[in-house]
Amino acid sequence: MPKRGYHHGNLRQALVEAALELIEAKGPTGFTLSEAAKQAGVTPAAVYRHFEGREDLIAEAARQGYEIFADLMQYAYETGQPSALAAFEATGRAYLAFARRYPGHYIAMFESGISVNRTPELAAVASRARSVLERAATELSEHIPEDKRPPASMFSAHIWAMSHGVVELFARNSPGTQSPFSPEDLLESGIGVYLRGLGLIRPDE
């Protein structure tokens, strides 16, 4: 693979993009800062002007991933309006679409072991992403009688966990987890079962 190189002071971003390629190819612990530097076309010493170590580099990749993720979730939520149900279901599909399109970012965010609280910037954007799904859950749960209504944070966490599980087991070529159904069908039917259980979808739908 040819070196990326850099110009006009965008070394920091060139290193992040190099790290994303390496994360996707080798996993978050399968590369060194020296490899990232080589991929970006710079000397290893140049890396330390921007990042203290590999975890800092991965954390920045995760932060940028959360920015993209939050924007995609927000777009899905808005395009699903004015139906609260459509908006909610769209955010679930956006999760799967993000994992497919941005695998390096996804791994940095969810599989690297980097805490979302590592930096205030990372924590803030991760919270923004979660808040989109929680807002969609809040609007949808208003249609549930109050005495049967789960907290919106629990509601959204269930869907997040379901989306994450489908991605991990069936959308990322995990060995031994083949399914005759597509990840999209698994996620849609799973969300449907969940929402029927809450009384938000009629049994015959």
82 prior amide bond cis, ω within 30 = yes
Q: What is the pLDDT of residue 5?
A: 46
Q: What is the pLDDT of residue 8?
A: 42
pLDDT in tens, 78-92: 887 777 788 878 888
Q: What is the pLDDT of residue 195?
A: 84
**Spatial CB neighbours of 27, under 8 Å, sequence gap ≥ 6:** 107, 111
Q: What is the pLDDT of residue 1?
A: 40
CA dihedral 146, 186, 88, 130 (to 10 degrees): 90
Which residue stretches of the chain have pLDDT < 70?
A: 1-9, 173-177, 201-205
**Which listed CATH number (3.30.365.10, 1.10.10.60, 3.30.1540.10, 1.10.540.10) goes with 1-51?**
1.10.10.60
Q: What is the pLDDT of residue 4?
A: 46
Which 3 state secondary structure label does DSSP give 13? helix
d(CA 116, CA 59): 8
In this prediction the pTM is: 0.84
Query: What is the CATH number assigned to the segment(s) 59-197?
Result: 1.10.357.10
Domain locations in the chain as residue ranges: 1-51, 59-197
Q: What is the pLDDT of residue 202?
A: 67
Which 3 state secondary structure label does DSSP give 176? coil
